[in-house]
Structure 1
Amino acid sequence: MRLISLTSNKETFKSIIFNRNGASFIVAKQNTPEQFDNTKTYNGVGKSLLVALINFCLGASTKNKITKSLQEKLSDWQFFLTIEIKDKSYTIARYANSPNEVKLNDENLSVTEFCKKLQSLCFNIPSDTKYLSFRSLIPFFIRPSKKSYVQYNEAEIVGTGAPYQKQLYNAFLLNLDVNLSQAKMQTKKEIATTNKLHDNIKNDLILRQFFEGYQDQDSSLVLADLEEKIRKLEKDLKQFEVADDYYQIKQESDEIKRTIDKIQNSIELKKNSIKNIEQSLKISPDVDIKDIKNIFNESKLIFQENVEKQLSELEIFYQSLTCNRGRRLQQQKQLILDKVTTLEKDFTASKKALDNKMKFLDAHQALDIFTKMSANLAELVQNKEKLQSYEKLQHDYDQKKLSLKANLTLQSRQTIDYLDGVKEDIDKIMEYFRELAKRFYPDALSGITVKNNDGFNQIRYDIEAKIQSDSSDGINSVKLFCYDITILMQGKNHSMNFIFHDSRLFSDIDETHCSELFKIVQNKFSDKQYIASINQNQLNTLSGSMKKFVTQNTIKELTDDSDNGKLLGITVELEYD
Structure 2
Amino acid sequence: MRLIELTSTRTSFKTVKFNRTGLSLIVARHSKQAVKDIHSTYNGVGKSLLVELLHFCLGAGKNKGFEEHLKGWCFILTFEHAGMEYLVSRVVGEDKLAVNGREMKLSAYKDFLNTLGVFDLPASISALSFRALLSFFLRSGRKAYASCDGARSEWKPYYRVLYQSFLLGLDCHRVVKKHDAKKKLDERTSLAKKYKEDAELRDFYLGEKNADIELASLNEQIAKLRNDLSEFQVANDFSEREAQANNTRFLLVETRNEEAILGVRLRDIDLALELHPDVAPDRVRRLYDEANIVMPASVTKRFEEVEVFYSRLRENRTRRLEQERTVTLAKQSILQSRRIDLERELDSQLQFLDAHRALDEYVENSRFLSELTARQTKIQDYLALIEKYTNEAQMIRAEMGQATVETTVYLEGAKAHRDMLMETYRGFAREFYGNKAAGLIVKNNDKPDNQIRYDIEARIEYDQADGINDVRIFCFDLLLLFLRQSHSMEFLFHDSRLFAGMDWHQRLTLFRVADRVTREKGWQYIATVNEDQIDSVKVEAGTDFDRLFVQPRVLELTDEPDGSGKLLGVQVDMQYEKP
The interval holding the TM-score normalised by the smaller chain is: 0.7 to 0.9
Matched position secondary structure for 1:390: helix
Contact 2:64/2:576 (CA < 8 Å) preserved in 1? no
Matched, 1:79 2:79: no
Moved more, 449-458 or 190-199: 190-199
Aligned to 1:118: 113
Q: Shift of residue 10 of structure 1? A: 2.2
Per-residue deviation, residues 286-342 of structure 1 (Å, max 9, x unmatched): 999xx9xxxxxx9x9999xxxx9xx99999999889878766765554454344334
In the alignment, which residue of structure 2 is the partner of 1:102? 97
Conserved in 2, the CA contact under 8 Å of 1:506 and 1:538? Answer: no
Query: Do the aligned partners of 1:143 and 1:149 also contact (CA within 8 Å) in 2?
Result: yes
Q: What secondary structure sits across from 1:132 in the alignment?
A: coil
Counterpart position of 1:540: 538
Which letter maps to 1:143? Answer: R
Per the alignment, residue 171 of structure 2 pairs with: 177
CA contact (8 A) 1:559 1:565 kept: yes
Distance 2:510 2:227 in 1: 94
Looking at structure 1, the residues matched to 498 and 207 of structure 2 have their Cα atoms a distance apart, in angstroms, of 65
Amino acid at match of 2:212: S
Residues 1:338 and 1:39: Cα distance change in structure 2 (over 3 Å): closer
Q: How far apart are the structure 2 equivalents of 1:561 and 1:156?
A: 32
Q: Which residue, 78, 81, 85 being the options, matches 1:89?
A: 85
Deviations 1:164-184 (A, max 9, x none): 222222112123222221222
Counterpart mapping for 1:318-397 below 5 A = 330=322, 333-397=325-389
Residues 444 and 469 in structure 1, CA contact (< 8 A), matched pair in contact too: no
1:76/1:95 contact within 8 Å kept: yes
The separation in 2 between residues aligned to 1:285 and 1:523, in whole angstroms, is 153
Match of 2:289 in 1: none
Q: 1:389 to 1:495 in 2, by over 3 A?
A: same
Alpha-carbon separation, structure 2, partners of 1:360 and 1:561: 106
Q: Residue in 1 aligned with 2:152?
A: 156
Once the two structures are TM-superposed, the CA of residue 106 in structure 1 deviates from its matched residue by: 2.4
Q: Does 1:192 align with 2:186?
A: yes
Query: Shift in Å at residue 490 of structure 1?
Result: 0.9
Percent identity for Structure 1 against Structure 2: 35
1:294 aligned residue: none
Structure 2 letter corresponding to 1:495: S
Cα distance in 2 for partners of 1:198, 1:4 equals 56
- What TM-score comes out, normalization by structure 1 length? 0.81
Residue 544 of structure 1, CA deviation = 0.7
Q: Structure 2 vs 1, CA of residues 446 and 491 (structure 1 numbering), >3 Å: closer, same or farther?
A: farther
State whether structure 2 residue 394 is matched by structure 1 residue 409. Answer: no
Paired residues of 1:81 and 1:92 also in contact (CA < 8 A): yes
RMSD, aligned CA: 4.4
Equivalent position to 1:494, from 487, 500, 508: 487
2:167–2:480 CA contact under 8 A, matched in 1: yes
For structure 1, which segment, 150-159 or 453-462, has the greater mean C-alpha deviation from structure 2 after superposition? 150-159
Q: Which amino acid aligns with 2:478?
A: I
> Secondary structure of 1:462's match?
strand
- CA-to-aligned-CA distance 1:480-538 (integer Å, 9 cap, x gap): 22222221121323232211223343441534762564255235434322222333415
Change (3 A) 1:225 1:551: same
- The whole-number CA distance in structure 1 between the counterparts of 2:362 and 2:38 is 96
Taking the aligned partners of 1:329 and 1:37, their CA distance within structure 2 comes to: 141
In 1, Cα distance between equivalents of 2:42 and 2:359: 93
Q: Is the 8 A contact 1:478 1:509 kept in 2?
A: no
- Who is 1:16 aligned against? 16
Whether the 8 Å CA contact 2:20–2:523 is kept in 1: the answer is yes
Partner Cα distance (2:403, 2:304) in 1: 140
Aligned-residue offset at 1:38: 13
Give the C-alpha shift of residue 201 in structure 1. 0.8
CA contact (8 A) 1:558 1:566 kept: yes
Could you tell me how far 1:37 is from its partner in structure 2? 12
2:5 and 2:104 map into 1 onto residues whose CA distance is 21
More displaced stretch, 18-27 vs 466-475: 466-475
- Report deviation, 1:80: 1.1
Where does the alignment leave 5 or more consecutive residues of structure 2 unmatched? 285-293
Give the corresponding residue for 1:51. Answer: 51
**How big is the shift at 1:36?**
11
Answer yes or no: is the 8 Å Cα contact 2:492–2:524 preserved in 1.
yes
Q: Which residue of 2 aligns with 1:69?
A: 65
Larger displacement relative to structure 2 (176-185 or 234-243): 234-243
| Equivalent in the alignment of 2:291 | none
Distance 1:315 1:511 in 2: 159
SS in 2 for 1:443: coil
CA, structure 1 residues 85+261, in 2 after alignment: closer, same or farther (shift >3 Å)? same
Report the residue type matching 1:3 in the other structure: L
In the alignment, what sits opposite 1:446? 438
Deviates more, 1:401-410 or 1:39-48: 39-48
Amino acid at match of 1:137: L
Partner SS state of residue 140, structure 1: coil
Residues paired across the two proteins, number: 560
- Are residue 528 (structure 1) and residue 523 (structure 2) matched? yes
In 2, are the aligned partners of 1:449 and 1:465 still within 8 Å (CA)?
A: yes
1:129-168 to structure 2, matched below 5 A, reads 129=125, 131-158=127-154, 161=156, 163-168=157-162
Summarize the Cα distance change of 1:175–1:99 in structure 2 as closer, same or farther, 3 Å threshold: farther
Q: Determine if contact 2:269/2:321 at 8 Å carries over to the other structure.
A: yes
TM-score normalized with structure 2 length: 0.80
**Given the superposition, is the C-alpha separation of residues 13 and 314 from structure 1 closer, same or farther in structure 2, using an over 3 Å criterion?**
closer
